[in-house]
Amino acid sequence: MSTSSTSDAVLTQILKQLDAMQVQQQTMQAKLDALSPQPARPEPPPPSSSRPIAIPAARSTSAELGTSPTPSVGSPSVGVMSGTASSMPHHTLTSATATEKERERLLYPGRVNLTTYPDQHSIRPYPLQWGASSPEARGPVICSRLPGSIKARNALGAHSGSYSIYRALSIALGSLSPTHKPDFSMTEPPVDIPPNPAWGAAGGWSMGPAPASGGYGPIVSMDPYGHLVPQVFRREMEEQGLDVRPSIAVTRAHIKMSELDDAVRRGDLAVDGKVVLQSRPLPGVNEPGVEVTVSKAAVEPVWHLPGVAERFGISEPLLRRALFEETGGSYPELITRPDIKIFLPPIGGLTVYIFGNPAFMSDESKELTLRVHDECNGSDVFGSDICTCKPYLTYAIEECIRGAQRGGVGVVVYFRKEGRALGEVTKYLVYNLRKRGGDSADKYFKSTELIAGVKDMRFQALMPDVLHWLGIRKIDRMVSMSDMKYDAIVKSGIPILSRYDIPEHLIPPDSRVEIDAKIAAGYFSSGKQVTEADLFKTVGRTWEETEH
């Protein structure tokens, strides 16, 4: 061994020891923090013109707040447990004399703890075995910071995705008690989404041909038991007082869309009295049109970090580091709590619309029609003609209904991934660039790349999870031209028997730019073939042409 490599080895060893010492020191500090009494807080300056805290909303619900059950509290004096106060007398919250500082202290009596560590005093995450074959073996996902649950917390982040910020506002403003416990009785699903082998097989995924998704099974971005939480984790919630929340809700509805009225009028859809119903006549309305019965499910993301990392082919530490850094350091426990494997990210979820009998989704003898749609608010809701999103969506809904009427089932999954998950601000900046730069199909993807740095951030690898949750084993008709969606689904182990692109007559003229660019980039097209060389010929309207 040469001298230099010896000294390298020694240096590496010293560095390792320093690292270990640093971790020990942090742990000691955390333990010390937990033991030392709370330092006296300086009194706030006398309120010269202190604004009285008028919280009318809290007052109106104070009776309910006052009686809300208090979760069992272990040893609330432990410093790390800086959750919200459960025994807080709510009348003081609404006291007109309380200052903002006092109110903050009432809401959050513990000191701010920026992070926690795995071997910290009294921290015992509730055991969670992702991919286990039963809810009992799997265990509940707990991300609550309430005193009765914070020690058992086995998930980072918060429920409701990005809406967790509005919850924070509600609590800060005094309109919501931080200890409010929802009453889930009467909220159970009216439609059965029953367990299937994809939800979990003991020891990891072990059914059929191993999907490319790897050892954590085909579901890593949602909690398959999310809609059954109050039922399957009743013991944990009622007997152990743990704050466990549903991350999925299933319900039924009637939908009414003018495009479906038009389809019935054209004779493209039939009123069958089961899926498509004649609407009741309304006074003063000549043609009340139709409505369609659907079952639907709203799903919040619940990420199993090792599974998500594996799906993307990156390491879990790298995934955690990127999530920590790119959320402005919002979740330090991504770094300090490698023992917690679940993260509820602050992003939008998805909604599933089911046309026909939901039980047919897992019945391979029934024809299944599918559309996976990524949100495009401008088109989907407001009818912007620069893209084909809404025509595609309504065409897919029609196809789903026709499939259901033939004795099959139709599924539309609507993902909150606005503007290819780049967001609307980026999307509109790209629109501006396109309109100023001569909107031609050859520049379509380049324009997005110039602004966002990438063409697309939707990364469809997690998308098929919801299909596996629904019990879908094969897709007869996929209404989509996206090769990324197709590849992700097939790679996850679900075969697609045929694909449908949007009929020519439904493509708004100005969105031809988008469609041609996509076809040239390899998207599925049953008819028109477009080459790179053709793209400069497909141009959209400029603003000047639209301003009269």
CA-CA distance, 374 to 400, in Å (whole number)? 17
CA-CA distance, 545 to 548, in Å (whole number)? 7
Which residue, 188 or 504, is less far from Zn ion as judged by CB?
504
CB of 540 to Zn ion, least distance (A): 13
Active site residue 458: yes
Count CB atoms within 10 A of the CB of residue 524.
16
Which residue, 221 or 379, is less far from Zn ion as judged by CB?
379
Which residue, 198 or 387, is less far from Zn ion as judged by CB?
387
CB of 419 to Zn ion, least distance (A): 8
Active site residue 456: yes
Which residue, 57 or 484, is less far from Zn ion as judged by CB?
484
> Which residues contribute to the site for Zn ion (CB under 5 A)?
376, 379, 387, 389
Report in angstroms the alpha-carbon separations of 160 from 65, 165, 166: 21, 9, 9
CB of 372 to Zn ion, least distance (A): 14
Nearest CA to 355 among 216, 477, 194, 176? 477
Count CB atoms within 10 A of the CB of residue 36.
10
CA-CA distance, 96 to 271, in Å (whole number)? 60
* Residue 180 near residue 117, CB atoms below 8 Å: no
CB of 75 to Zn ion, least distance (A): 53
Which residue, 302 or 441, is less far from Zn ion as judged by CB?
441
CB of 390 to Zn ion, least distance (A): 7
| Residue located via tokens 């609407």 | 279
Using H for helix, E for strand and C for coil, what is the string for 124-144? CCCCCCCCCCCHHHHCCCCCC
CA-CA distance, 153 to 341, in Å (whole number)? 11
Nearest CA to 346 among 377, 303, 305? 303
CB of 530 to Zn ion, least distance (A): 19
The tokens for 430 are 């790209």
Which residue, 336 or 379, is less far from Zn ion as judged by CB?
379
DSSP-derived secondary structure letter, 12: H
Which residue, 261 or 424, is less far from Zn ion as judged by CB?
424
Count CB atoms within 10 A of the CB of residue 482.
20
Report in angstroms the alpha-carbon separations of 203 from 130, 131, 207, 215: 9, 7, 11, 9
Which residue, 90 or 427, is less far from Zn ion as judged by CB?
427
Stretch (H or E) spanning 293: strand 290-299
Total H helices, total E strands in the chain: 22, 11
CB of 500 to Zn ion, least distance (A): 18
The active-site residue, picked from 223, 243, 456, 516, is 456
- In the chain, the amino acid numbered 315 is S
| Residue located via tokens 């299944």 | 368
Count, residues in the chain: 548
The active-site residue, picked from 320, 402, 420, 458, is 458
* Residue 274 near residue 183, CB atoms below 8 Å: no
* Residue 421 near residue 414, CB atoms below 8 Å: no
CB of 392 to Zn ion, least distance (A): 9
- Please identify every residue annotated as catalytic: 456, 458
